Structure 1
Amino acid sequence: MKFNSPLRRAATVLAGALIGFGGAAVVTAPASAHASTVSGKAVCDTATGTRIVTWTLTNDYPTDATVADLTTTPTAVEKAAAGNLVIPKSAHGRDGELTLTQQVTGDAREATISFTSIWSADGYVDEHNSARVDLSEPCAPVETPCVEAGKATFHHTFGVNGKSSTATVSLDEGVKLCEGEPVTLVSYFTPRPQFSVPQYEFDRDTGTITNEQRSVTLEVSVPDCNTQVDLFFGSDKDIISEITENGPRYGDKKLGSKSGLGARSKGPHGWYNGGQQGCQTPAVEPLSQCDGTIALNLSNNGEISRYAVDFTVTAGDFRKTVTIDAGKGETVTVPAGAGTVTVSAEGMDDVTYDWERSEDCEWPTVIVENDCETVAITVENPKGVTPAIAKITYGDKTETMTVAAGKSEQVAFKLGRATYATIDLPELGVEPIKATLEGLECENGGGGGGKADEPTLPVTGPVAGGIAGGAALLLLAGGALFLISRRRKITFTA
């Protein structure tokens, strides 16, 4: 039986509609389950004035989504260079998240992001992902307050190497000075390799640390003798040119001190004491004088001479100590015949010296006289020379005499058959001289015409370094005048 009532027709239409709606729901449900979102937030880094934008990308589907076509303005995000970016899958009822960071500097008014999400599990693509963050609010670094000089902190290096010293002083990171900080490196001459006074400035170098020039390097020369080097907070106006016993000091202004201004800088001790020799230049120049004395020219005027030197002179029983100031000199005379001279001084090897006759000293004169009865020989010694010992031989007789400076001595022999006399001056370094007696025909034969024994005269001087001499035999009225040397006058000079 068939029912065609209106009620049956309405039921049929309603059933068809429900089936249609159900089919549509089955088809569209997967599309609504694939979704990714993005949101951004910006904060200001007040230390640098940089805006940090954080983008959060989400995935509500239970499989991972790959990020493609990522674009950000005005700068790239930090993780973009790492390769493929993936938004994790949702799990346990929570969406998966990927966080990206973008740093924006300058005056940008906004930051933007856009990308495409791809679910490789089923090939679904979501191209509609973008967001914008407003950057119109100002972002500037908070200005670091400056600090007074006494509260600033530093670090430094310091060292001495050979003939120079170098130091580098730097302002600590994050410290801003209210005004520049001067720092100085200075070197000194010193009496000892340990701390001692007086000290005299040798070299200096000064620099000023500022917020723009946060580090300075200083270098000074170091003397080639005992020295002190100081690195201190202060300008060249604070340099102590001469450090004395009761004078000012740098004290705890030296960098690396345990307290005070110098303690603001961390690093090694900013001071040095050392050296290998004294800052004096002792020197001796010994000069033999014709009278037998020795003139010692003592000096202390070298390039590094800054302190007095005590010279000690000894010779036999003679002893004398002389203090020579820097840049000065003095002469000490050692008496004739005192013996070997020794001069000692700090910073100098001992100097020893023996008197030596100079070739410029005047020589004695010998006069030989023959009157056919007596042979008389006179030796005259010039003034200003050493005493002369003369050993005179005639025939088989010998006489020795000492002739003082400026004096003359004579010895006489009875005329015999010998036709010459020998005059030996042993301390003068010349060879003995033979003087032939000629000019008179004496009955006993002495002085008569024989020529066999011509006098042997030194022409170029003895091998031992004697002086060239000459002689002449002058026959005058029964006598002979023999000169063994030309006269000279010499003055020792330094």
Structure 2
Amino acid sequence: MIRPKLSLRRPLAILGAALIGLTGVVAVATPASAHHTTITATADCDRLTGERVITWKVENSETNKDATLQTVTTNPDTPVNVLSDSAKSAPLQGYVIDQGSSVTAVQRVPGDTTTANLKVYAEWLVDGVKTADNTKDETITLGADKACAPAPKCVEVDKATYSHTFDGPKGTATVKLDGDLPLCGEGKQWFTLVSYFAPRPQFATPQYVYGTPDTDWVGGTQTEITLNVEIPDCHTQVDLIWGGKDEVIDELVDGGKRYGDKKLGSPGAPGSRSKGPQGWYNGGSKSCTTPASTFASNCDGSVAVSLSNDGKISKYAVEFEVKGENGFSKKVSVPAGKADTSIVVPAADAGKIEVLVDGKAVENGTYSWQRPEDCPLPAVTTKADCKNFALTATNPEGGLPVKATFSYDGKTETRTVAAGASETVTFEAGKDKTAIVALPDLDMELEAIYTPEGNCGGGGAGGEEPGLPVTGAATGGIIAGALLLLAAGAALFVVARRRRVRFTA
């Protein structure tokens, strides 16, 4: 039995017959005897047709007589044709082998054939008279474990492999079909690149699709694609996945669906069918929220704090912390797209105020109380006679306590005036015509004119020289003037410097 070594070389067409390069030869020799033939064979696989190609060689043992192959039988029963230098091939049966020579013939059998047999009956003639005959057959084993199949002209979609590139920070990727063969038929393989808003620069949930995923397919003459997506200007995740838009998960939530091995470059299928870097990225340097704060000072020293979470990239609730320098602290969670105006820092706890997110102050998130310009100011009234000069400071309700310093005729007294209350200081009438009431908390000074009621004769402050009469008209004018000043609250000339209130956000 012949057991040839098989190869996979492409057949060489010779004169119209596609022949296979022979990679192994197994010869079976019949023991030397008179008038016999010897058969050897080789086999190969024709990848164009998927057939086994057997090359039979039959030798004539006689060096002085021609041998005629009268009968040729094959199994499988397919034609066996002699190789020829002419354009035509002839059947092996009936062929005359010259003395001391041989003939080579080719037989094609199905690719799944495991064995093949050639049987020849030869006659030797002298002057047309048969002098001897011989029958010889031989079998070749073709190797059932290596069935011959046609070379593929395309690759099935479910067998195709790919290679890819991926740049997560830039939001770009390419996917290319491996090899030179296209996908078979109308087959297409889709791939998609998608980016997300993310709460952290590492994997965390929830995540929300940003923009429009980019999807395309490989198939037909299109063997390579390029994908691009926009990246949010904040924490993000970018995934290159196996499949079309119907595979995109709009929201990645805790306990929800995941892409798993659908990501290209994954260790398992289908992602492992594409070779390249891991097709996923987590990063970004900024939060996907836009926390902001504004401040408004109240006349009573408290500060109203407004918190907002409604910027262009706000996708998550923000946990704010409002802290006052004097011990105030409150935390508030503000949903995406919302604001909170409920926080008021009391005057006693305010000082420097900070608004924090994740332990860091938000932009323009520090503030100190500033007196609003529309707050009512304290008022000073006077009451004077020939012996005393009384000064009264009144602080309106709804404000802060104020410090008032009263100065007259070289004497000074200080009082703290509560909101909604008054404080009075009485000085003994002296020679000075004016008194000063300073309100240092407000950067104000008020000047009061000493104008006593009645006629203070005898040289007292504000009076006439002793013994000199005061005319009625003059007296009436003084009284009328005094009443007018009292009605106005006092004869006061106010010099005030107010600080402007500036809000920061």
User: What TM-score, normalized by structure 1, do the two folds share?
Assistant: 0.61
1:435 aligns with 2:448: yes
1:347 CA drift (Å): 8.1
SS of residue paired to 2:348: coil
Q: How does 1:206-217 map to 2 (within 5 A)?
A: 206-217=215-226
Q: 2:413 matched to 1:393?
A: no
Q: Secondary structure at the match of 1:368?
A: strand
1:292-441 mapped onto 2 (5 Å cutoff)? 292-315=301-324, 316-331=326-341, 332-338=343-349, 339-346=351-358, 348-349=360-361, 351-430=365-444, 432-438=445-451, 441=455
Unaligned runs of 5+ in 1: 1-38, 50-140, 451-473
Residue identity opposite 1:287 in structure 2:
A
SS at match of 2:194: strand
Deviations 1:431-467 (A, max 9, x none): x2322223755235324599xxxxxxxxxxxxxxxxx
Q: What CA distance in whole angstroms lies between the structure 1 residues aligned with 2:195 and 2:456?
A: 89
Structure 2 CA distance for partners of 1:420 and 1:483, relative to 1, 3 Å: closer
Whole-Å separation in 2 of the counterparts to 1:158 and 1:187: 13
Shift of the 393–413 alpha-carbon distance from structure 1 to 2, 3 Å rule, reads same
* Superposition deviation, residue 295 in structure 1: 1.7
Preserved contact between residue 363 and residue 485 of structure 1 (Cα < 8 Å): no
The 3 A distance-change label for structure 1 pair 415 and 368 is: same
CA distance in 2, matches of 1:428, 1:337: 18
Q: Deviations over 1:214-255 (max 9, x none)?
A: 221110111121111000012112211110011101111111
What's the CA shift string for 1:183-206, capped at 9, x where partnerless? 110001111111111111113111
Q: Which runs of 4+ in 1 moved over 6 A?
A: 43-49, 490-494
Q: Paired residue for 1:289?
A: 298
Residues 346, 337 of structure 1: CA spacing in aligned structure 2 closer, same or farther, 3 A cutoff? same
Corresponding letter in the other structure for 1:436: I
Give the Cα separation in 2 of the matches to 1:240 and 1:448: 95
**Which residue in 2 is equivalent to 1:176?**
183
Closer, same or farther: CA 414–268 of 1 in aligned 2, 3 Å: same
Give 1:216-235 correspondences, 5 Å limit: 216-235=225-244
**In 1: Cα distance, 2:226 partner to 2:446 partner:** 79
Q: Give the % identical residues.
A: 44
Shift of 1:399: 2.6
Structure 1 residue 270: Cα displacement: 0.7
Gap change, CA 1:152 and 1:308, over 3 Å in 2: same
Q: In the comparison of the two structures, how many residue pairs are matched? A: 336
Would the aligned equivalents of 1:232 and 1:255 in 2 still touch at CA under 8 Å? yes
1:445 partnered with 2:476: no
- C-alpha distance in 1 between matches for 2:207 and 2:234: 12
Match of 1:153 in 2: 161
Alignment of 1:126-275 (within 5 A): 144=153, 147=156, 149-161=157-169, 164-173=170-179, 174-178=181-185, 179-203=187-211, 204-275=213-284
Q: Which amino acid aligns with 1:318?
A: F
Q: 1:319 & 1:449 partners in 2: Cα distance?
A: 65
Deviations 1:451-489 (A, max 9, x none): xxxxxxxxxxxxxxxxxxxxxxx7426843537499x9x
The equivalent of 1:12 in structure 2 is: none
Deviation at 1:317, TM superposition (A): 2.2
Q: Which amino acid aligns with 2:228?
A: E
CA contact (8 A) 1:369 1:481 kept: no
Q: Distance in 1 between matches of 2:291 and 2:359?
A: 7
1:477–1:153 Cα change, 3 Å:
closer
In the TM superposition, what are the counterparts of 1:22-37 in structure 2 within 5 Å?
Answer: none
Structure 1 residue 342, shift from structure 2 partner:
2.6
Please report the TM-score for the alignment, with normalisation by the length of structure 2: 0.60
Q: Any conservation in 1 of the 2:294–2:504 contact (CA below 8 Å)?
A: no
Please list every run of 5 or more consecutive structure 2 residues that lacks an aligned counterpart in the other structure.
1-12, 20-45, 50-149, 466-480
Structure 2 Cα separation of the partners of residues 182 and 347 of structure 1 = 44
Contact conserved, 1:365 with 1:483, CA < 8 A, in 2?
no
The change in CA–CA distance for 1:214 and 1:360 in structure 2 (over 3 A counts) is same
CA contact (8 A) 2:295 2:504 kept: no
